[in-house]
Chains A and B, each alone.
Chain A
């Protein structure tokens, strides 16, 4: 089974700051997904990246897939308290299952 490592595991910053979360693997993935999860809820899909080097933007969130399709990053600009949550990256292993990282718990303080 392929493994995904996320860093940092915990991040607490002030409102208005920028941050980057990393998702790394020694394996190549055909695609990589980022999810956000609130306490007691299921993960919500934010983005899927498929092509090496691909960059996608979702308002203040920028997602990048590494050239070798082994890693990804999530950058948040001017973080807001509403961005607080657990951010999960997941790689597609074959055609039928996702392998998840352990998550980055992000807290944005007002």
Chain B
């Protein structure tokens, strides 16, 4: 088991373009989380899946953001019509049952120019 894997590691995109990130959780983990981290801050919760069901979304997740976990395994996070304020590190985490043993991936660094 290689841990939580995120792709791509880095993404530079022009304002207005759509981007999609992928997260592969630890294989037996049923819970998957997305967080966003801006420079100098701690990660902020975006959304959470239990298996394929998206159970909670933060108000930070505007209508330009959508996340899926179609088969309860990998997840994708899509940002439509990117804005410069979307520039951040997008982190994925997974856990088995309880959030207090969540393991994070390496993150995807998004830069919107």
- 15 further interface pairs, Cβ-Cβ under 8 Å (given A43-B91, A98-B33): A40-B106, A41-B107, A43-B104, A50-B100, A88-B43, A90-B42, A92-B99, A95-B99, A96-B33, A96-B48, A96-B56, A97-B48, A98-B100, A98-B102, A100-B43
A42 adjacent to B99 (CB under 8 Å): no
Interface residues of B, CB < 8 Å — how many?
28
Partner of B104, one of A4, A30, A42, A97: A42
B99 adjacent to A100 (CB under 8 Å): no
Across chains A and B, the number of contacting residue pairs, with CB separation under 8 Å, is: 69
Of residues 35 to 59 in B, which have CB atoms within 8 Å of A's CB atoms? 35, 40-45, 48, 50, 55-56
B102 adjacent to A45 (CB under 8 Å): yes
Q: Please give, as numbers and ranges, the residues of chain B lying within 8 Å of A13 by CB-CB distance.
A: none
Bound-state CA distance A41–B103 (Å) is 12
